[in-house]
A and B are shown apart, each in its own frame.
Chain A
Amino acid sequence: MSFFSAQGISAGYGADDIIKDISFSVEAGQLTGILGANGSGKTTLLKAICGILPHSGSCTLKGEGLEELSPKKLARRCSYIPQRSGISIDISALDVVLMGFNPRLGLLESPDSAMISAARQALTRVGLTGMENTNYLHLSEGQKQLCILARTLAADSSLLLLDEPESALDFRLRHRMLHTIRSWLAEADRCGIVTLHDPSLALNFCDRLLLLSGGVLTGCIRPGEDDLDKMEAMLETIYGELSLLRCKNRSGQEQLVMLKEGRI
């Protein structure tokens, strides 16, 4: 049995489904990327998995159906990072991270000192050391994304869903964020599903890539196993003519690089 599996997921915002009959599975420790053009249904798929959007089909995590869980139980098992957090009040970065402990707290309980300490560690881990008392609204968009990531890491759930978590980050921070996520997934029984706009980043950090087009799953790439021609052909169905190269950086580490070909 897979660590996480989605079976026949269909969902949308109105009468018509945006994503149709999507099925896939993810093994423990793996990071699965979802690639697709704008409007292909990447965010809809993540929202359906975590139950924010009503959907048909079912999701199973460690043998347990996610649809049957109460909001609190679901939040203990599954964390979701939206493209942009809706927090719009004056609140410290530390308090935002402490929100991640809510699923483990009773209605009238407050975070204890161990939780506060874990929240500080999570902020340090994402590179926001010393910013715990900074107003969340005063952080840059990139720092806000890192703060929300820290909240998710502190929540310590088994399934991590990330919706373009790197969109506001610079080149260095994008790599650092995905590296942090990968090492976090490897620490315990966890798996992650991430939507990314940058295919190069996805090719180098994800174990598997699901290709979404028009709300339908059109293919699956394993960057570590598949040959370049096969990957190139599949990616061209989304991004048009392109070429894929394996390059080594100065320290000898091999990376996949995607270049646009033909007319733009």
Chain B
Amino acid sequence: MKPSMALPTAKTKALCGAGAVLLTVLAAASLFVGKYPLSAEKLLAGDELQRRVFWTLRCSRTIVGVVGGFALGAAGFIYQTVFRNPLASPDIIGVSSGASAGAAAGILFLSGAAAVTASAFAGALLAVVLALTLSGLDQRGRNSTIVLAGIAVHSLAQTALMCLKLTADPERQLASIEYWIMGSLNGISLHSIGGNLVLCAVCLTALFLLHRQVILLCAEEGEARMLGVDVGRLRLVILLIATLVVSSVVSLSGLISFVGLLAPHGARLLTRDNRVGTMLLSGLLGGCLLCGADILARSIAATELPVSIFTSLLGAPFLIFLIVKGRKCP
């Protein structure tokens, strides 16, 4: 019997297998590559410095690279499908700008990395709740209303960010804000990621379980309603869950561009469908992209560079390659 809806095709299974292998290889490389090179022998021999670098620096950034990239890729798939827009991303409902404003407030008024993370998370969540509440004023729950509410909240968050930047100390605080906005997996502590990872895992599981409902939302609104879908409510719930996924990642890493946009496109161009296997592949590609970009960000120059530079540098040629390949083989 041929597969359907929930079941991935043999090709998708093979692609997911290859993606998982590549992600494992990159994760292993991420553990050992950096300014202070680690070796398996010394680690196993119990070298104290090597162990400390492994546990305090490499482990946490590798976990965030893998899980964060996967989460951004899978959430990007959700946004693009729900909004029926190939350019849709978390920015569309203001989550990134809310997180930026929250992080800036944290840098200015709180102390410690954990406080900045919590503040960024609160900012992202506040922006999304505001956008979804505003869109709820339209009882028909149209896509366009959510997008308009997102644009309004995005503008408000950008204004708040500008005001915070104006009051920031140009030497330290302003630089920290700019560096956070550029995104980096540097300096993430293993102790501070637990809550975010649990939230991310729970929300990702929910999104995978709701995949069939997500696909139903790709129909025209009236058509979806006549398929028994409570369009307005379901879309709000799915967007809220997807946003929690993104918020849990960007509050740790800062803004990471392109992963949520590129990974779903790459996965769809490879599988040519939107089944649950494609969503999984989108997550795996996101993980590979973020891990690969992070390895380059910390090993190419004398100082660590923002990871977003490399997610775009790696991702754009890959996407162009897939588009050209896809045109040749319709």
Chain A residues in 8 Å Cβ range of B81: 89
With A98-B5, A111-B4, A133-B2 in contact, is A52–B272 under 8 Å at CB?
A: no
- B227 near A82: Cβ-Cβ < 8 Å: no
A80 at the interface (CB under 8 A from B): yes
Number of interface residues of A (CB under 8 A): 40
Residues A89 and B274 in contact, CB atoms below 8 Å apart: yes
CA distance A91 to B217 in the complex (A): 13
Question: Which residues of chain A are near B210, meaning CB under 8 Å?
Answer: 107-108
- A170 in the interface (beta carbon within 8 A): no
What is the 8 Å Cβ interface bit string for chain A, positions 41-58, against chain B (1 contact, 0 not)? Answer: 000000100111000000
Q: In the complex, which residue of chain B has the Cβ closest to the Cβ of A88?
A: B84
Q: Which residue of B lies closest to A47 (CB)?
A: B222
Query: Is the CB of A76 closer than 8 A to any CB of chain B?
Result: yes
Looking at B84, B219, B225, B231, which has the most chain A CB atoms within 10 Å of its CB? B219
Contact A87 B218 (CB under 8 A): yes
**Interface residues as binary, B197-234 with A (CB distance below 8 Å gives 1, 0 otherwise):** 00000000000011011011011111101111111000
Look across to chain B and name the residue whose beta carbon is closest to the beta carbon of A155.
Answer: B227
Which one of B213, B215, B226, B227 contacts A95 once the chains associate, using CB atoms below 8 Å? B215
Is B6 interfacial (CB-CB < 8 Å)?
A: yes
Interface band, chain B: 20 to 34
Per-position 1/0 for B2-28, Cβ under 8 A of A: 101110000000000000000000000
- Chain B residues lying within 8 Å of A51, measured Cβ to Cβ, are 225
* Cross-chain contact A76 with B228 (CB below 8 angstroms): yes
Question: Could you tell me the distance in whole angstroms from the C-beta of B21 to the nearest C-beta in chain A?
Answer: 25
Which B38-97 residues have a C-beta within 8 angstroms of A? 81, 84
What is the number of contacts between chain A and chain B, taking CB atoms within 8 Å? Answer: 98
A247 to B212, CA, bound (A): 50
A181 is an interface residue with CB less than 8 A from chain B: no
CB pair A99–B2 under 8 Å, yes or no, is no
Closest residue of chain A to B209 (Cβ to Cβ) is A108
What residues of A have a CB within 8 angstroms of the CB of B6 in the complex? 110-111
CA distance A76 to B226 in the complex (A): 9
Chain A residues with CB under 8 Å of B222's CB are: 47, 52, 80, 82
Closest to B226 in A: A80
- Interface of chain A residues 81 through 103 with chain B (CB within 8 A): 82, 85-92, 94-95, 98-100, 102-103
Q: Which residues of B contact A89 (CB under 8 A)?
A: 81, 84, 215, 218, 274
Q: Are A90 and B268 closer than 8 Å at their CB atoms?
A: yes
Among the listed A70, A100, A113, A119, which residue makes an inter-chain contact with B227, where contact means beta carbons less than 8 Å apart?
A: A100
Are B220's CB and A90's CB within 8 A? Answer: no
How long is the Cα–Cα vector from A94 to B81 in the complex, in angstroms? 19
Chain B residues with Cβ below 8 Å from A61 are: none
Q: For the complex, give the distance between the alpha carbons of A103 and B226 in Å.
A: 9
Question: Is the Cβ of A102 less than 8 Å from the Cβ of B226?
Answer: no
Question: Please, which residues of chain A bring their CB within 8 A of the CB of B228?
Answer: 71-72, 74-76, 102-103
Q: Which of B209, B223, B227, B272 contacts A103 (CB 8 A)?
A: B227
Determine if B302 is an interface residue (Cβ-Cβ < 8 Å).
Answer: no
Q: What is the 8 Å Cβ interface bit string for chain B, positions 117-140, against chain A (1 contact, 0 not)?
A: 000000000000000000000000
Contacts A47-B222, A52-B222, A91-B274 given: A99-B4 contact, CB under 8 Å? no
> A244: which B residues are within 8 A, CB to CB?
none
- Since A88-B84, A89-B84 are in contact, a sample of 9 more A-B pairs with Cβ atoms closer than 8 Å, ordered by chain A residue number, is A80-B226, A82-B220, A86-B219, A89-B215, A95-B215, A95-B275, A110-B212, A111-B4, A135-B272
Which 7 A-B pairs rank lowest in CB-CB distance, beginning with the nearest?
Answer: A86-B220, A75-B228, A103-B228, A52-B222, A72-B228, A80-B226, A110-B6
